[in-house]
Structure 1
């Protein structure tokens, strides 16, 4: 896809997605329904899943989490970082939005919308700390953003999460609430538990993804790797996500059926988050004089969240049947239609960028 697609392309966004990605919301709903059904039909499922654990997470779920993270990280072009890191305006702005403003905004939304539901509130804060490294590459490409910039920001977010996620979790779940006179997260919280889960469920697939790309390109070349290998590997990220959702909903079934309004209450702040963070990032990029392509990349990497990691951290730290885990699971269901809508919004906004208009006039 070129970086300046014709306006007519906006009517065919979903057609550019693969069948799996196009109906992602449908697959997630189906996985939820299947999980609910299994939970009702197999009462002893929870005990069976918890019989073998990895870092406090049942082995089947741990495998699902690793499977859904690995293909995403194998897509990143790690050797392209030098081409974008030199753009200090983009890098500083992205780091500021991703690691200061966006988590702080999610913290505020969690307390505004879920002040009386501490488990969901904590889950939402964890979601805000998990910066997007997954489908942002798809949304960015559909919106004609800068592919290489997106790849670099994804790589930086991946590494930064391994290093800083635990400390940020401690800050937003314990230190900041205590400063503000708010209740802190229960004693179940452990910065080391969060750090360990991030190292396992992000660090391992990050190293595996880097090695896969490096060795794959060295052996067969980039064209083979990206056009033949990645299309076969890519769907496993969705398979892993759906498998994890099935198991989670099998264990969360009674809570979901008994409290459907709680799910709606988790969804509302997520919708507000996507709209406000995306819109603010577009305005900031435009105000700083960035091109449409890089502004769009900035906005999508800021607005999207790494729900896979949030789910992994919530399960490992608070348990598979916790409200924190449920808050993470609701995320992908809301994110997919929200970010598809934001792709249309981004393409519409191209007329607000003089450089993009100038390129169109030259054609």
Structure 2
């Protein structure tokens, strides 16, 4: 039995004991990064303006660099020779498309109107968040929860394509058409397809190409055993370093807005909490119901629950302004998503015992663990 299979089936000892030091206390590091970012944003006058001066597709350059560093190691771990088996799995692809592009936006639209009927700016910001399906941090959560790494790469790619094709159309429908049909207040959204495509190409395309080339050239030069046992353990932790750096910068940018309006933040946070819980738990149940194994069910759940806050923030700033309520709603998103989804990582790991073990679809190890290579 491989180390991966042993990790999936072992019942002895708590899940946390099988994680690396970095992974075991990840929730602590993330909360610390959030606190540091908020503290910097409040303590250093003009820091947010300085960080926001240089942008990439509407996103602060430091955040953009953090995202690229965060995503590259995980995409370098992907076994690209296994992607075909994922694309043939209709039990995974169809539920993913339904949860991401039909249920996700609809659920966020409903929650925004239920919880924020009197706050149109925040409500619009949340609806925009619901339209921006995750293409970045979900890869980290999936990897930590021992989800199917190759499946995550495929689903993220699908989300990226659909994001380019459908974001503007869905924004028009949920912010202009559907409220009119229901007799609700209407809000317009003017975002070009090129703006979305450019964001996807930068934040997904660059690390994806780098990860693919790293594996291709590394295995060709020194073989898969060296690649899996020597190179991957060295570059793997940089995914979490990039994540923590991104969180610090993100919260430094909006530290004053978040800390000066705690009641508004709380009102925005409530529907987000409900959204993450509904999407994640519902997708886990759906995956198990259609017969998916643990790794692919976990991937389905995290790709459905996560959102592309970087795109949502960029769209809100470009459309409504950097100091708008819509932009604040986007910034509050990761404030809630990060601790909630890292908590769900541990819930998912504990739920592995509810799924049958199959040698054909081994789960990925958490980011910090080393594993023997398979030739």
Distance 1:213-1:172 versus aligned 2 partners, 3 A rule: farther
TM, length-normalised to structure 1: 0.79
Stretches of structure 2 that go unaligned for 5 or more consecutive residues are 359-375
- Correspondence 1:346 to 2:351: yes
- Offset at residue 343 of structure 1 (A): 1.0
- 2:9 aligned with 1:6: yes
Say which of 180, 196, 199 aligns to 1:197.
199
Q: CA deviation at 1:92?
A: 1.7
Corresponding residue for 2:286?
284
Task: Give the stretch that moved more between structures: 78-87 or 65-74.
Answer: 65-74
* 1:335 alignment counterpart: 340
Matched, 1:257 2:259: yes
* Aligned partner of residue 91 in structure 2, secondary structure: helix
Contact 1:97 1:302 in 2 (8 A): yes
Q: How far apart are 1:82 and its partner, in Å? A: 1.2
Displacement after TM superposition at 1:323 (Å) = 0.8
Alignment of 1:67-82 (within 5 A): 67-82=69-84
What's the offset of the Cα at 1:271? 2.8
Q: Does 1:60 align with 2:62?
A: yes
Contact conserved, 2:9 with 2:353, CA < 8 A, in 1? no
Q: Deviations over 1:214-240 (max 9, x none)?
A: 333333333333333333333333333
Name which of structure 1's ranges 136-145 and 258-267 shifts more when overlaid on structure 2. Answer: 136-145
Distance apart, 1:163 and its partner CA: 4.7
Q: Distance in 1 between matches of 2:339 and 2:271?
A: 10
Alpha-carbon shift at residue 183 of structure 1 (Å): 3.5
CA distance in 2, matches of 1:314, 1:72: 28
RMSD over equivalenced CA pairs, Å: 3.6
SS in 2 for 1:115: coil
**Stretch of structure 1 that moved more, 93-102 or 221-230:** 221-230
Q: 1:218 aligns with which of 220, 234, 252?
A: 220
Does the 8 Å CA contact 1:122/1:185 hold for their aligned counterparts?
yes
1:265–1:220 Cα change, 3 Å: farther
Q: Is the 8 A contact 1:162 1:203 kept in 2?
A: no
Residue 95 of structure 1, CA deviation = 1.8
CA contact (8 A) 1:65 1:244 kept: yes
Q: Which deviations, in whole Å up to 9, do the C-alpha atoms of 1:155-208 show, x marking residues without a partner?
A: 433444455444444443444444434334456755543443333333333333
TM-score, length of structure 2 as denominator length: 0.76
Question: Is the Cα contact below 8 Å between 1:76 and 1:155 reproduced in 2?
Answer: no
Structure 1 partner of 2:372? none
Aligned residues: 353
Contact map agreement 1:139 1:343 (CA 8 A) in 2: no
The separation in 2 between residues aligned to 1:292 and 1:50, in whole angstroms, is 41
Distance 1:166 1:224 in 2: 45
What is the SS of the residue equivalent to 1:66?
helix
Pairing of 1:77-226 with structure 2 (within 5 A): 77-133=79-135, 136=138, 146=148, 148-185=150-187, 192-226=194-228
Unaligned runs of 5+ in 1: 358-363
